A and B are shown apart, each in its own frame.
Chain A
């Protein structure tokens, strides 16, 4: 019993001791180089001491380190210290804990596991291998390797300053010629777009001795015009040839790159060729995410109302009069004769008596049916015509009759016309009989005689022959009266010729139609008709060739509303040599023209912006007045063409203008604030962009706008590797929220590093 008691006491002592052994103590350690036992490890080798309070955790970590291939493996020591220059350190560790001494990077040298085991001083010897002294080597490239220029693209214009071809000393010879042939490729369409002018540099000896080449003629050297007269290849030393270029691409969306074929030749031929990339594969488009609204400007129609002009109008009226058979007298038994005659007479008298119209010409044509003897019919037709003319014209005042040009024409219809009329009325069989007779007998008299014998002759005589006994009266009147809006609309609705533009309305009438027609597509057609027609005429305030401002502006506004571009509509109305709006030109006190109507200039500016022709848009912006209405346009166009970079300008006036434009656009919205900061490409502005993006009062957390996250991705990627994870997370969010649109933007964006795009799964080809 006693023995058992003492055993238990002894056992509990061990337990207590063990617990006491887990108390942390200060341990003084020294790390020395195993190769030279008295020396600490070289300070070039960064040594770490990981502290573990339990042996098991230390052993686990040690196994991880020994088997590690990645020096960045995750370890979770309880603490970590680094020895000083003498290799000494102090660690607070449990007495039965352990230390792992790691010289250098994980994987470079063997770590050492030290169990504390209650020790207060631990000396560790590590093997670090043989340290070599640093060696500095001066190297020089022996091939042509140009520095790729990361251009900035504004719209479809890419500026590439500092394009260069460095020629190493080993390739620089006095008797050589360097030919640089740049060309632009479209990576999106995998096509060569166009070639740039070549750059040719010669060694002095090559240049001097060209003419000694037998048969040489400079006129036949296609490169002679491109040889530099100021820069030469200096033999035996490194030459760098630099030039600037601005590329204008066919569009702004595709990914373009400037490449070059570089060739070196001497007297014996080509001795070096290189396919060089002069610009980076992806360009920076700093303003592609800029936000702006482009609202069209309409003209006040009341200011552009046109005056009516006299117009000749002609009308043709069919008058159906029946005559006594075989005579030139109207049939008195037909009351319609009187009615028809009276209607025509009244119409002519109305014209004559109305102040705004003048009856100028009257044509009468009469026809007689082919029934009977042709010659008699002809005489009869003429007599009937003269009778009808006498009846009608006698009603007109003598004054007007004397000033009226009248003409009459009579004819006898043919049986062929009768047969056609019968066919049109579905009397095919009967018409066939008539045609058979026409074919057989050439004389109309004989035809008449034979047709009379046909069984269907009664039908012909009653139904069809009267159709060919008529008189038509056509009169031409000059109208000096403006049509009323309802008349204009009626004419537009009823007349196919006017609707299709075969006949033209007056500009005054178009003006009314613009207000009366409601359908937008019909209106657009009217605007186009009026626009085209107005270019052919001269009116007050509009010289020939210049379109009507109202029609042009309305047409442009209609196009802009449905995102259609046509830069030619308003161009004739903008005079770029005049740098003001609403300039009135007069001659002898009479207004002849108004130049650069401000609404038109503003709409043309919008067209240019939408067409991404920012240089032209900026020209329009310079014409517009500096008012609150247009002030933002001026700043916007300056920025869009890249003129906001005030920090690159030397002239103080230009700096002030650029700065003003920069600030105006920057302060127009929070997004624009960030975009403009990033567009400046300086560390200060990048940090300001970071500050803005991280400010939750500006961009609240959880903002669903993908643009915010895309801008964050750009900002963080510029701040360095420390922000890589944040850049990646932001870009992933942007892609998630923005979808394919943002993926396409990111694919060709030179602002995002390639590894970031790769990590986010953005492939080059989509």
Chain B
């Protein structure tokens, strides 16, 4: 978890560094309303990289939302190709990566592990004014996961060896990679 946070901070610093360099490119700040509603605070930045392309990098996390015993942190970069011909406007298709680390207890089961995967996304962005957009997007992808899975009544120490978790569950799942109603604000 700490490693992920470290990586995220470094990336954000690098991204902020491009702020001064990307003079002619739009940079926007965004957040996914659906994730917020689900108790997952999130923030993202999107940089226009070409006349029809943009790169988005977002991060999300959760710490016991709605009294649920769920902790997670994820990063999701996404590359978008805007079919309309103009970035941050109308329809696009994209490729996204997702990396998440989680520790949650659901229905007397404990799940603790990491997942990563690749997905495809589609979306539609509506310009509300010169700086604001509302974006609807969805995607699906395949994810590899590895986790420690046990009953909540079990002794957790039984699943730790030499300070490392004993992975007893791995797999591949097809899951939604994205479901978003985002509001973005173009900073420049």
Chain A: residues with CB nearer than 8 A to chain B? 175, 205, 208-209, 211-217, 266-269
Contact = CB atoms under 8 A, between A and B. Distances in A.
A209 B85 CA distance: 11
A205 B128 CA distance: 9
Interface in B67-90: 84-90
Given A175-B89, A209-B88, A209-B89, A214 B24 contact: yes
Contacts of A266: 85
B86 A215 contact: no
Contacts, number: 48
Contacts of A213: 51, 86-87
Contacts of B151: none
Nearest to A213: B86
A213 B82 CA distance: 12
A212 B84 contact: no
Interface in B19-62: 24-26, 48-51
A205 B85 contact: no
A512 B86 CA distance: 82
A267 B125 CA distance: 14
B148 interface: no
Contact of A214 (B50, B84, B89, B90): B50
A175 B26 contact: no
A209 B24 contact: no
A246 B170 CA distance: 80
A175 B87 contact: no
A267 B89 CA distance: 10
B26 A212 contact: yes
A205 B129 CA distance: 8
B24 A212 contact: no
A217 B25 CA distance: 11
Across the A-B interface, the 8 shortest Cβ-Cβ residue pairs: A267-B85, A268-B85, A267-B86, A215-B24, A209-B89, A212-B88, A208-B127, A208-B130
A718 B127 CA distance: 54
A209 B129 contact: no
B186 interface: yes
A205 B91 CA distance: 14
Given A175-B90, A217-B24, A267-B86, 6 more contacts: A205-B127, A209-B89, A212-B88, A212-B127, A214-B25, A266-B85
29 contacts: A175-B84, A175-B86, A175-B89, A205-B89, A205-B127, A208-B127, A208-B130, A209-B88, A209-B89, A211-B26, A212-B26, A212-B48, A212-B87, A212-B88, A212-B89, A213-B51, A214-B24, A214-B25, A214-B26, A215-B24, A215-B51, A216-B24, A217-B24, A266-B85, A267-B85, A267-B86, A267-B90, A268-B84, A268-B85
A208 B129 contact: yes
B51 A209 contact: no
B86 to A, nearest CB: 4
Main secondary structure on B side of the interface with A: loop
Query: Which of the listed residues A208, A214, A267, A268 has the most CB atoms from chain B within 10 Å of its own CB?
Result: A214
Interface string B101-137: 0000000000000000000000000010110000000
A119 to B, nearest CB: 81
Contacts of B90: 175, 267
Query: Which of the listed residues B25, B49, B87, B127 has the most CB atoms from chain A within 10 Å of its own CB?
Result: B127
Contacts of B84: 175, 267-268
A168 B173 CA distance: 50
Contacts of A208: 127, 129-130
A497 B66 CA distance: 113
Nearest to B88: A212
Nearest to B186: A212
A265 to B, nearest CB: 10
Query: Which of the listed residues B51, B86, B88 has the most CB atoms from chain A within 10 Å of its own CB?
Result: B86
Contacts of B130: 208-209, 211
A591 to B, nearest CB: 67
Nearest to B126: A205
A705 B78 CA distance: 86
Nearest to A209: B89
A464 B55 CA distance: 109
A229 B159 CA distance: 69
Contacts of B186: 212
Given A214-B50, A214-B87, A267-B84, A209 B25 contact: no
A266 to B, nearest CB: 7
Nearest to B50: A214
Contacts of A217: 24
Contacts of B26: 211-212, 214
